[in-house]
Amino acid sequence: MVLTKTADDISSMRIRGAGRIARTAAGALQEYGTSLDCDTLAAFVREMENAADILCGTRPTAVSLPNAVRFVMQGVQGSTTLEEAQGALNKRAVEFIRDSLAAVGKIAEIAARQIPDDAVIMTHCNSEAAIACIIRAHELGKVREVYATEVRPRNQGYITIQMLSDAGIPVNFIVDSAARMFMPKVDLVITGTDAVTANGAVVNKIGTSQIALCAHEARKPFIVAAETYKFAPRTILGERIPIEYRPIEEVIGSERQLPAGVVVKNPAFDVTPPAYVDLIVTEIGAFAPSYAPFVIRDHLGWDTSEFQKDYA
Ligand code: RUB
């Protein structure tokens, strides 16, 4: 079944990166809804809610996933007839995917203005939003070279260096632990994000916070490229972003024997405090991390009374 396959592709990271995960989930909901043969609105909503739960359970950290699912499902849940629900599902899925892709272009345009001429840029992990910013700056003739990290244990850095090389950008490929050594050579750091919390903290690939710390120490701007659907509404009520821990085989490989009692830990993400983030660039503008609650309240349109009932 397409839905189960998509869920598996996301949890196994064949589909990865917060934006792509979100668009894939929206598309999977649309496809699943189209394949359903329900007689009543209630049955359709029930099936769709189950599908939404399956998708949201695949990766816990990227808030883009529940935000995308919620956006699409609002159309289904707010309908009064089966036909209306099916129409709303299609419309909202198409809208989400279109706006998500457009957001990346707008972010790139805004962020490129922040990049000085002859810039040396560091990036971490593989973020389509961050890479779009670098490529746009390169098109404007502003990029001298990029330092891209390897990103242990899943090595997303290889995808990044391929994308940058394909765009004709000179790349230095470094191991994650070399970030501080090369920080004096860079003008700024750009990463993407899986979630921005209400206090402006940035949750991104493990190692991001170390790089942000190094950038802070070296007085280099740390810029985050974030579509507004990467902001985490429920953090307004104090909820924390769950950090995904992945299988230890990703770190040690299946063949390596460890001494008895050694515990391997493999967190996939970490949290960069707002104090180390200079600018968050979204499709609605570039601002300080302290603006995060306003994005959640005013732009995402989350009314806290909507989920107050969970805490009643
Ligand atoms: C990917 C990652 C990316 C963000 C943003 O982690 O941390 O920086 O998801 O990416 P993983 P994008 O490889 O574990 O999914 O800008 O493409 O949404």
The protein residue with its alpha carbon nearest to ligand 1, atom 11, reads 17
Task: Give the separation between CA 241 and CA 253, rounded to whole angstroms.
Answer: 28
Provide mean pLDDT across the span 149-164: 98
pLDDT of residue 101 exceeding 90, the answer is yes
Domain ranges of the chain: 2-103, 105-311
Q: CATH for 2-103, among 3.30.70.240, 3.40.50.720, 3.90.110.10, 1.20.120.420? A: 1.20.120.420
Secondary structure of residue 195 in the 3-state scheme = strand
Q: Are 152 and 268 in contact (CB under 8 A)?
A: no
pLDDT digits (tens, 9 = 90+) for 23-64: 999 999 999 999 999 999 999 999 999 999 999 999 999 999
Which residue has tokens 């107050």? 308
The protein residue with its alpha carbon nearest to ligand 1, atom 6, reads 17
> Average pLDDT over the chain, rounded to whole?
95
Ligand 1, atom nearest to 19 Cα: 18
Reported for 1-4, long-range contacts at CB under 8 A and 24+ positions apart, including other chains, are 2/28, 2/31, 2/32, 2/35, 3/28, 3/31, 3/32, 3/51, 3/54, 3/55, 4/54
The pLDDT assigned to 86 comes to 97
Kindly state the tokens that stand for 182.
């090369």
Q: Are 89 and 270 in contact (CB under 8 A)?
A: no
Ligand 1, atom nearest to 205 Cα: 7
pLDDT digits (tens, 9 = 90+) for 214-233: 999 999 999 999 999 999 99
Q: Are 281 and 293 in contact (CB under 8 A)?
A: no
Give the containing element (helix H, strand E) for 99. helix 82-114
Residue 47: other Cβ atoms inside 10 A: 18
pLDDT of residue 235 exceeding 70, the answer is yes
Top mutation candidate among 24, 96, 205, 223 for ligand 1, by most atoms within 8 Å of CB:
205
Q: How far is the CA of 11 from the centre of ligand 1 (A)?
A: 13
pLDDT of residue 302 exceeding 50, the answer is yes
The pLDDT assigned to 305 comes to 65
Q: How far is the CA of 16 from the centre of ligand 1 (A)?
A: 7
pLDDT of residue 77 exceeding 50, the answer is yes
The dihedral sign for the CA sequence 65, 70, 76, 77: positive
Ligand 1, atom nearest to 268 Cα: 14
Top mutation candidate among 11, 15, 16 for ligand 1, by most atoms within 8 Å of CB:
16
Ligand 1, atom nearest to 131 Cα: 16
The pLDDT assigned to 283 comes to 98
- The residues assigned a catalytic role are 125, 194
Residues 6+ apart with CB under 8 A from 8: 14
Secondary structure of residue 201 in the 3-state scheme = coil
With a threshold of 0.95, tell me whether the complex ipTM lies above it.
Answer: yes
> pLDDT band at 312, cuts 50/70/90?
very low
The pLDDT assigned to 254 comes to 78
Helix axes 41-56, 82-114, angle to 10 degrees: 30
Q: How far is the CA of 121 from the centre of ligand 1 (A)?
A: 18
Ligand 1, atom nearest to 16 Cα: 15
> pLDDT band at 304, cuts 50/70/90?
low
Provide mean pLDDT across the span 10-22: 98
Q: How far is the CA of 225 from the centre of ligand 1 (A)?
A: 11
Q: Are 6 and 28 in contact (CB under 8 A)?
A: yes
Provide mean pLDDT across the span 235-247: 95
The pLDDT assigned to 300 comes to 85
Q: How far is the CA of 259 from the centre of ligand 1 (A)?
A: 33
Distances (CA, A) of 171 to 10, 30, 143: 28, 39, 11
The protein residue with its alpha carbon nearest to ligand 1, atom 10, reads 127
Ligand 1 is surrounded, with C-beta below 6 A, by: 16-20, 62, 125, 127-129, 156, 191-194, 204-205, 268
The protein residue with its alpha carbon nearest to ligand 1, atom 7, reads 205
Task: Give the separation between CA 120 and CA 250, rounded to whole angstroms.
Answer: 31
Phi, psi (rounded to 5 degrees) for 83: -65, -40
Top mutation candidate among 204, 246, 272 for ligand 1, by most atoms within 8 Å of CB:
204
Integer-rounded Cα radius of gyration of the chain: 20
What is the percent of the chain with per-residue pLDDT over 70, rounded to a whole number?
A: 97
Residue 191: other Cβ atoms inside 10 A: 28
Omega cis (within 30) before 153: yes
Give the range among 45-49, 135-139, 249-253, 281-285 with minimum mean pLDDT.
249-253
The pLDDT assigned to 1 comes to 73
The pLDDT assigned to 303 comes to 66
Provide mean pLDDT across the span 8-29: 98
pLDDT digits (tens, 9 = 90+) for 169-207: 999 999 999 999 999 999 999 999 999 999 999 999 999
Task: Give the separation between CA 115 and CA 47, rounded to whole angstroms.
Answer: 47
pLDDT of residue 311 exceeding 60, the answer is no
The pLDDT assigned to 221 comes to 98
Task: Give the separation between CA 223 and CA 111, rounded to whole angstroms.
Answer: 8
Kindly state the tokens that stand for 110.
């805004």
* Phi-psi label, residue 188: left if phi above 0, alpha if psi -120 to 50, beta otherwise: beta
Q: Does CATH number 3.40.50.10470 belong to domain 105-311?
A: yes
